[in-house]
Amino acid sequence: MSKSSGRTFFLRPQDIIGIIVLAFVLVVVLPLALDNFRLQFVGKYLTYAFVALGLVLCWGYAGILSLGQGVFFGLGGYCMAMFLKLEASSVENTKIQTTPGIPDFMDWNQITALPWFWEPFHNLGFTALAVILVPALFAFIVGFAMFKRRVGGVYFAIITQALAAIMTILIIGQQGYTGGINGITDLRTLNGWDIRTDSAKTVLYFVCVGLLLACILVAYFVKSSKLGRILVAMRDKEDRVRFSGYDVASFKVFVFCLAASLSAIGGAMFTLQVGFMSPSFVGIVPSIEMVIYTAVGGRLSILGAVYGTLLVNWAKTSFSESFPELWLFGLGGLFIAVVLAFPNGIAGLWQTYVAPHLGPLFGGAAKRTATPPAATPPAATPPTPTPPAAPPSGTAAPAAAE
């Protein structure tokens, strides 16, 4: 942190208050106000908030717009689904199959042995590492190939969108190994703990909230560090940062991998809470929706991205129940309104119209609203006598007055 700012902690007072308010809403208000069915919906919405956090760092601060974050969300979800499916595919549970002990969709596709890349997912520890490392490795390969060649802007966005389409086609085409278009379903237990019960889903909701708050702290740490300032500088003046001696490509690769890992954590929690994972969450449409969540909340606001995710998904659920044929038009109209009317999203509206009336702990409003102190005039000083000018040479000095 800057020494001149007087702060040694990476969170500002308004950031701490914002996190406490969000935690209070998610931990206290919503569980008390909603029944278990609706609370499960909120838990599912929060899994998308992990993707929005990654996009705030990647798009908002580094200027890297990715239209393929659904790929990393899906990779994390599939890693967790593979572990859960193997646990549900014990020999006892699959004794009616031609080949007991393997997932049902493999048996349907005449696969007689578990593929080698499924074997490590018998272990929960390996699965937890794979959830974070596999998407990060894939993001590293893509980012290194693109950013080292200075591919960015709209070209990078189109490439990531194409990757989402390719991944969807690959998952559907390899039905015997991935479950195809239906995905990996019938997930029952986590190390013997039945995740299908209402009590289990409530516990998983609070686990999701805890992980989300931890990821929010990570995002704030990155934002407040020197790395965060370099990311903002790259977004605004990339050539100047490069000429200053920084390896711009390496910073871009890092933040892209970090966003991928955050998205993957959300995908893993989605699989645990919803009970399946399919290619419908990997493709172009869900990836663009995830960008909309971030844009509505505010692509420069970490907490705003969470609120935007909750708002858009709540509206999607509510309107799709009442107006199922008009929801997509509403979603498109919402994105257009954000771009044209309030490009900084909900967070921008808060900072402009609400925070100035709430005091300095909410966005530094005191600097904009406080009346400057009246200037105090300096004390009067007696005038200094000016000596008379010397007479020109040859001229007699005037006689002093009597």
The residue assigned the tokens 């859960």 is: 84
Tell me what pLDDT residue 98 has.
87
Tell me what pLDDT residue 373 has.
44
- Alpha-carbon span 351 to 14, nearest angstrom: 12
Cβ-in-10-Å burial (0-12, 13-18, 19+) of 29 comes to exposed
Q: Are 273 and 43 in contact (CB under 8 A)?
A: yes
| 41 within domain boundaries | yes
Strands (E), 45-143: none
- Alpha-carbon span 259 to 66, nearest angstrom: 10
Q: Are 78 and 273 in contact (CB under 8 A)?
A: no
Tell me what pLDDT residue 359 has.
65
| 8 within domain boundaries | no
| 96 within domain boundaries | yes
| 87 within domain boundaries | yes
| 157 within domain boundaries | yes
Query: What's the half-sphere exposure (Cβ side, CA atoms, 13 Å) at 140?
Result: 8
| 1 within domain boundaries | no
Residues of the chain with confidence (pLDDT) below 50: 1-6, 365-382, 392-402
Q: How many domains does the chain have?
A: 1
Q: Count helices and strands (H / E) in the chain.
A: 17, 2
Eight-class DSSP state of 194: E
The residue assigned the tokens 């969108």 is: 161
Domain that holds residue 50: 13-401
| 6 within domain boundaries | no
In tens, the pLDDT along 343-393 reads 788 888 888 877 777 766 555 544 443 344 444 444 444 455 555 555 544
In tens, the pLDDT along 282-325 reads 999 999 999 999 999 999 999 999 999 999 999 888 887 777 77
Eight-class DSSP state of 193: E
| 4 within domain boundaries | no
Q: Are 115 and 177 in contact (CB under 8 A)?
A: yes
Could you tell me which residues come within 8 angstroms of residue 40 by beta carbon, excluding any fewer than 6 positions away? 201, 205, 273
Tell me what pLDDT residue 3 has.
45
Rg (CA), the chain: 30
